[in-house]
Amino acid sequence: MEVFEARTGGATILRIVGRVDSSVSKLLEERVQVLIARDDHIVVDLAGMTYVSSAGLRSFIMLAKHARDRQRAVALAAMQDGVSEIFEISGLVELFVIRGTVDDAVAALPR
């Protein structure tokens, strides 16, 4: 897994590339903590995320919970089909704003 960060008007774009499983979920959670502390809205670009395990899903749930506590929105963008299915059957789609592209996701964030 690799994580890249960029900022655009009021939002942080987090690009995750590779597999997110238990071996890296801790790392992702730490990155997420730092991001949340910054009080930005967050767009996660998942175009490069090929797999997410249940431990990886936990990191996303943490992200959603922390963001909600601080009234920040989290949008997931450009999910691959397999990943999208995992989010759906896990019942996590309700936690996030989900859009097909990063631009749409940024546009969907509250101003």
The 8-class DSSP code of residue 93 comes to G
Q: Tell me the per-residue interface mask from 11 to 50 with other proteins, x by CB under 8 A, - otherwise.
A: ----------xxx---------------------------
101 is written with which tokens?
């592209």
Total chain residues near other proteins (CB under 8 A):
22
Cβ atoms < 10 Å from Cβ of 75: 22
Q: Does 61 interact with other proteins (rule: CB under 8 A)?
A: yes
Residues that bind other proteins (CB under 8 A): 21-23, 53-55, 57-58, 61-62, 64-66, 69, 88-95
